[in-house]
A and B are shown apart, each in its own frame.
Chain A
Amino acid sequence: MEEETKTSRRSFLSLATWAIGGLISAGMGIPAIAYIIGPALKRAEAEEWIRLGSVAKVELNAPTLFKVKIERQTGWIVNETDLSFYVLTENGRDFVAMSNICTHLGCRVRWIADQEQFFCPCHNAAFSKDGSVAAGPPPRPLDRYQVKVEDEQLYVLGG
């Protein structure tokens, strides 16, 4: 009888030691994993309305370039990034905002007024005035942004 209680006490303590050890390891290990993968799981910062400038600057029937600086944070470092948008209007009321980044490999496109086309210098791609592909390798038209006008100021939704 006594023999039996001895062994059960021993095995109980052994089990308790493993259980507490496991608990502590889990208490350390799970936060450690969360800590390591945390930044990878963070979504890119939510899109926000970026002010481009006065609507009066947009020329009729010709894509107008707007350049803005926005702040982007990676980790603890804040960088200023330059963003450019081409804004097109046909009637002065409805606006289309397009990215100036070629959908092929990310070079910057430029509006050539003489030819009425956007031109990408990297692989001679061309986009027509509304951003659709006119020539070359791009797989899709220029990206568009949602636009709003408030107090005669033009905003695009991006980030």
Chain B
Amino acid sequence: MSTRLGNWLDERVAWRQVWSAIFLRQVPKTNWLYTLGSASLFLAINQIVTGILLTIYYVPTPDHAYDSVQYITTQVTMGWLIRGLHHWGASAMVVVVGLHMLRVIFHGAYKFPREVTWFTGVFLLLIVIAFGFSGYLLPWDQKAYWATTVGTSIAGTPPLIGDVVLRIVRGGEELSAITLARFFGVHVWVLPITLLILIGVHLYLVIRIGISAVPKREE
């Protein structure tokens, strides 16, 4: 039955071709360091799922942000788990993506013809860091408030444009409801969409070009 359904669907959408292109492709002899990219993808999926779940209860206003996060953590069934996965997943994401980049550098895997894969990867790293920075404010506790006060003040350091940039980032002179709302908007709309597009390009290129082998000593 499932084979017949698979055939019926394959005749129309050619999913087997897609499947084998993604999962049955030829790879050189690799080692465990080559799993860091997949680990990053796994963590990204974890962040997306738990992030969507958190928005069910989280409210991004100064009146409710802290209380709704406390509600999730202490009252909602499994809320501690969902928030914990998102919280620790965020840290793990930065670490694993960083290691993934180091592996690519040490293996020289950014060279021709994989430069574009590398560029998208660099942007993905920046996106991940932006995710971490914007997400840090959302619990709206003392640590979040002051960390973001300090963090955003860096945007004010360039000469001439610094003040304007800082005002745009904060949505005003100081951290306020406006800052919280725009950080939330960036965290749940702008960054995820950018992330998904870049992951799409990144993975397309990984599959299109294939992965590089471990460089040999004599090369």
Name A residues whose Cβ lies closer than 8 Å to a Cβ of B: 28, 31-32, 34-39, 41, 75-77
Minimum Cβ distance to chain B for residue A6 (Å): 15
A32-B53, A35-B53, A36-B56 given; A76·B78 CB < 8 A: no
CA distance A11 to B68 in the complex (A): 47
Which residues from A are CB-within-8-Å of B53?
Answer: 32, 35-36
Minimum Cβ distance to chain A for residue B35 (Å): 13
Which residues from A are CB-within-8-Å of B81?
Answer: 31, 35
In chain A, what residue has the closest Cβ to B46?
A: A28
30 contacts between A and B (CB under 8 A): A28-B46, A28-B49, A31-B78, A31-B81, A31-B82, A32-B49, A32-B53, A34-B77, A34-B78, A35-B53, A35-B76, A35-B77, A35-B78, A35-B79, A35-B81, A35-B82, A36-B53, A36-B56, A38-B76, A38-B78, A39-B75, A39-B76, A39-B77, A41-B77, A75-B57, A75-B68, A75-B75, A76-B64, A76-B68, A77-B64
| B153 interface hit (Cβ, 8 Å) | no
Which residues from A are CB-within-8-Å of B152?
Answer: none
Which residues from B are CB-within-8-Å of A36?
Answer: 53, 56
Minimum Cβ distance to chain A for residue B85 (Å): 8
CA distance A159 to B180 in the complex (A): 36
> DSSP majority for the B interface?
helix
| B15 interface hit (Cβ, 8 Å) | no
Contact B71 A75 (CB under 8 A): yes
CA distance A35 to B56 in the complex (A): 10
| A-B interface contact total, Cβ < 8 Å | 42
Which residues from A are CB-within-8-Å of B46?
Answer: 28
Which residues from A are CB-within-8-Å of B67?
Answer: 76-77
CA distance A35 to B57 in the complex (A): 10
In chain B, what residue has the closest Cβ to A37?
A: B77
Known: A32-B78, A34-B78, A76-B64. 17 other contacts (CB 8 A): A28-B46, A28-B49, A31-B81, A32-B53, A32-B82, A35-B56, A35-B81, A35-B82, A37-B77, A38-B77, A38-B78, A38-B79, A39-B75, A39-B76, A41-B77, A76-B70, A76-B71
Which residues from B are CB-within-8-Å of A41?
Answer: 77
Beta-carbon contacts of B50-61 to A below 8 Å, as 1s and 0s?
A: 000100110000
Which residues from B are CB-within-8-Å of A77?
Answer: 64, 67
Q: What 3 pairs between A and B have smallest CB-CB spacing? A: A38-B77, A76-B71, A76-B67
Which residues from A are CB-within-8-Å of B76?
Answer: 35, 38-39
CA distance A37 to B56 in the complex (A): 11
Which residues from B are CB-within-8-Å of A32?
Answer: 49, 53, 78, 82
Minimum Cβ distance to chain B for residue A133 (Å): 41
Minimum Cβ distance to chain A for residue B80 (Å): 10
Which residues from A are CB-within-8-Å of B70?
Answer: 76
Which residues from B are CB-within-8-Å of A35?
Answer: 53, 56, 76-79, 81-82
Minimum Cβ distance to chain A for residue B38 (Å): 12
CA distance A90 to B70 in the complex (A): 50
Q: Which of A34, A35, A77 has the most CB of B within 10 A?
A: A35
Which residues from B are CB-within-8-Å of A28?
Answer: 46, 49
CA distance A21 to B82 in the complex (A): 18
Beta-carbon contacts of B25-43 to A below 8 Å, as 1s and 0s?
A: 0000000000000000000
In chain A, what residue has the closest Cβ to B67?
A: A76
CA distance A41 to B75 in the complex (A): 12
Beta-carbon contacts of B121-163 to A below 8 Å, as 1s and 0s?
A: 0000000000000000000000000000000000000000000
